[in-house]
Structure 1
Amino acid sequence: MRVNVLVGGPIDLLPLAMIKKRQAEVWIGVDRGAITLVENNIIPAAAIGDFDSISSNALASLQDDLRQVDVYPPEKDYTDTQLGVKLAINKYQPEQIDVFGATGGRLDHLLANIFLPLQKEFIAYLPKIRLIDVQNTVSYYLPGSYTVDHEAGKKYLAFVNLTPVKGLTLVDEKYPLTDWDGDIPFSWTSNEFTAPQNHFTFEQGVVAVIQCADRL
């Protein structure tokens, strides 16, 4: 089962065609993301957040239209995105959580969202979380050997160690790498696929893999 979470990032960065194709799937709207879903004829299973970015009338409309609207105070221990992911995990225990609207806008929000899966509360779900926008798909990996399927339209492939990493090997990408160790976060950026599937391995740490494209 897949749960989709739409948070309140810039609308122009949303892959709306993909989102609309998933209309029948489970959606959680986070803050303004709930409004965006309704405006695109998708009724979320739940809405959650402090809703400080929408009017009181818009919030009242959500409360009238949706079965579950969880309102939190702005001063809280979790970000709105964290609340949405927590709800997805606790309510559905899905095999995949795809988060949309988590990029663009404020850099502090972007960094909080990128590092979210590393937090103690989410680390067990780290391999099941993806961040998706119109240009990028961010996937997370724990140590092991992996195959990466090339997404259509995504020319570039980046490997980003988010923690100290040991033994990172890019097996058959355009720019290979062998048994690399690093102690600080680092992005091996602008690599490329050489086939519909490429492979990589590493022995320790957390690696994010980003498939991305320039925006025309």
Structure 2
Amino acid sequence: MEIIVVIGGPLEEGAIRRWLHQKLQQKDNQKFQFIGVDGGCLKLMSEELPIDLAIGDFDSISSGDKEILKNYAAKMIEFPSEKDFTDFEEALMWVAKSYPQQKIHVLGAFGGRVDHAISCLWTMFRPELQALIPYLSLEDEWNHISFLTPGEYVIHKLEHTKYLSFISTGSVKQLTLKQVKYPLNHQDYDFPIALISNEFIDEQMEISFESGGIIVGQTRDSWR
């Protein structure tokens, strides 16, 4: 089973079903659990997809839509609007407890307010959410963002992407990239660095580093 978390960022009409079709071409008979976070619930309802859990303070939806949601969702968890965590963070902490070591796809993180997008990226390095890092990705039809902590990894090329980017969240030590168009060998950076528009030369590549955090992007241009 895999978890689909839909949050409140802009999504084109039908985007979730198109993304699902893309995934189901790669995985037969895959079962999903759908979680709507605040305004993300409206996107699931508009595409007539199930909501196994609706979660958030629901301050971004109307009272009428909220009443419809109560009858639509299998389960609903409502938080006060003034709280220490964002709705997205609260949802991920619930997922971490309820679905440990399950693959998590987050839709709706891109295309809206830039501070929301940055918040989604940096959220993954909160201590409370470290256990989710190997399993979680932020996605849409053109972008796949995942996260790495220090170690050695093999990354496989996603069929629908072209470019491969590595963005550090701070300083990073001994960064090595192999089997890519622009390799690196034990490179240190004392500042956040964005190494974008690299490319696979085969179906997989290797990355290792000793300290810091890395955001990995597999992307393509939306117009190609």
Q: TM-score, normalised by structure 2?
A: 0.90
1:194 corresponds in structure 2 to 201
Partner of 2:89: 82
What is residue 99 of structure 2 aligned with on the other side?
Answer: 92
Alignment match, 2:4:
4
Please say if 1:16 is aligned against 2:23: no
**CA deviation vs aligned residue, 1:169-212 (integer Å, no higher than 9, x gap):** 11120011111111222110010111111111112221111001
1:215 alignment partner in structure 2: 222
Distance 1:115 1:196 in 2: 28
Partner amino acid for 1:12? E
Give the Cα–Cα distance (whole angstroms) in 1 for the partners of residues 35 and 88 of structure 2.
Answer: 10
Measured in 2, the distance between the counterparts of 1:159 and 1:135 equals: 16
Map of 1:165 onto structure 2: 172
* Aligned partner letter, 2:10: P
Q: Which moved more, 1:22-31 or 1:180-189?
A: 22-31
Residue correspondence of structure 1 range 168-183 to structure 2 within 5 A: 168-183=175-190
One-letter identity of the residue aligned with 2:206:
H
1:27-85 Cα deviation digits (max 9, x unpaired): 11001111211222221110011212211010111112223111222221111111221
State the 1:18 CA deviation: 2.2
Opposite residue 65 of structure 2, the aligned amino acid is A
Further displaced range: 171-180 or 68-77: 68-77
Equivalent-residue separation in structure 2 for 1:131 and 1:211 (angstroms): 11
SS in 1 for 2:12: helix
Task: Give runs of aligned pairs for residues 139-158 of structure 1, distance below 5 A.
Answer: 139-158=146-165
Q: Distance in 1 between matches of 2:143 and 2:72?
A: 32
Whether the 8 Å contact between 1:155 and 1:212 is mirrored in structure 2 is yes
Relative to 1, partners in 2 of residues 1:190 and 1:88: Cα closer, same or farther, differing over 3 Å?
same
Once the two structures are TM-superposed, the CA of residue 89 in structure 1 deviates from its matched residue by 1.2
Q: Which moved more, 1:169-178 or 1:17-26?
A: 17-26
Could you tell which deviates more after superposition, 113-122 or 65-74? 65-74
- Correspondence for 1:206: 213
Aligned equivalents of 2:98, 2:160: Cα separation in 1: 34
Conserved in 2, the CA contact under 8 Å of 1:136 and 1:213? yes
Aligned-residue Cα RMSD (Å) equals: 1.8
Residues 2 and 103 in structure 2, CA contact (< 8 A), matched pair in contact too: yes
Check the 8 A contact 1:28/1:88 in 2, yes or no: no
1:24 Cα deviation (Å)?
4.2
In structure 1, the residue matched to 2:110 is 103
Task: Say which SS state the counterpart of residue 201 (structure 1) adopts.
Answer: strand
Alignment deviations for residues 122-167 of structure 1 (CA, whole Å, 9 cap, x no partner): 1122222111112210111122221111112311000111132111
User: How many positions carry a matched residue from both structures?
Assistant: 216
Q: Which runs of 5+ in 1 are unaligned?
A: none
- Secondary structure (helix, strand or coil) at the match of 1:122 reads helix
Cα 1:19–1:50 change in 2 (3 A) is: farther
